[in-house]
Amino acid sequence: MLNDYPQVVTIAGSDSDGSAGMQADLLTFFAKRVYGATVITACVAGNSFGIHAGVNMSADFISQEFHDLATDFHIRAAKTGMLADATIINTVADNYEKYDFGPLVVDPVIITKHGDQLLEQVAFETLVNRLLPLAEVLTPNFFEAVKLTGLDPETPDFQAQAAHQLQQMGARNVMVKGRHDQADQTTVTDYVLLENGTNFELTEPYYETTHKNGTGDTLSAAITAELGLGHSVETAIRNAKTYVDACIKNGINVGHQFGPINHWATP
């Protein structure tokens, strides 16, 4: 039947080197065998050394992208990545509320691993007010969780506290990523708080590699793909984590400095 094939969308920025942003999302969608559409919010010029220029799409253009997808496709799950500024966040929130694109995974992209800012400072409040309440799943890394909650990262049980606070701020399921094992730095632990109040941790080995660009994008894209395939939030998160771990572990030697992960890897 027409439009039966699982379709998902990434609402995100394009990164010219293919390691992150919507390129990483599309590679993930392809690997997960879901059809991937895109609402492009911004374009950045960059490579494995960093990001060197950026252009934002207009609100009208972004709205047209939503309209064109909504009038032709059956989008079953969506994710957001780089949203750049408050106008774009408001435009994305308005359009997401207008159309049915299924559950939304919000990856609160703020800064890259190189330290390049991808969301302007004044937009935090808009992100919190407009996007968090729409999030079926919110996937902040440690730094983003600190920024969004204002909590001291040294707080005992920081991840659990942050997750509860972010849930009170409107996100239904929260995954606070990246607690490094203090003793020997051999593992990284993510904390997940589900809508029904249950929680669990996911621990994977820490891989000493410079090729980790797009890890967060890939994780949120994999969760989106899994939701688009009809899996529960818990299964989606667990499967996505296993996939990303394989992508890091079975690296690909591309780029001189901070390179991509390997989307072909199968766990």
CA distances (Å), origin 123, targets 12, 45, 88, 150, 205:
16, 22, 9, 15, 34
Shortest Å distance, C-beta 197 to ligand PXL: 30
Closer residue to ligand PXL (CB): 162 or 219: 219
The region that residue 98 occupies, defined by phi over 0 for left and psi between -120 and 50 for alpha, beta otherwise, is alpha
**Cα 91 to Cα 88: distance, rounded to the nearest angstrom:** 5
Closer residue to ligand PXL (CB): 194 or 217: 217
Shortest Å distance, C-beta 116 to ligand PXL: 7
Shortest Å distance, C-beta 74 to ligand PXL: 26
Instruction: Judge residue 1's burial from the number of C-beta atoms within 10 Å of its C-beta, 0-12 exposed, 13-18 middle, 19 or more buried.
Output: exposed
The footprint of ligand PXL (CB under 6 A) covers: 12-13, 15, 20-21, 44, 46, 51, 81-82, 109, 112, 118, 214, 216-217
Per DSSP (E only), the strands in the chain are: 7-15, 35-47, 50-56, 75-80, 104-106, 137-138, 173-180, 187-193, 199-205
The residue count for the chain: 267
Torsion of CA 86, 91, 97, 101, to 10 degrees: -110
Closer residue to ligand PXL (CB): 47 or 165: 47
Closer residue to ligand PXL (CB): 44 or 194: 44
CA distances (Å), origin 96, targets 78, 100, 107, 117:
9, 7, 15, 24
Shortest Å distance, C-beta 184 to ligand PXL: 27
Shortest Å distance, C-beta 223 to ligand PXL: 15
Closer residue to ligand PXL (CB): 117 or 168: 117
Closer residue to ligand PXL (CB): 15 or 136: 15
Question: Nearest to ligand PXL by Cβ — which residue?
Answer: 21
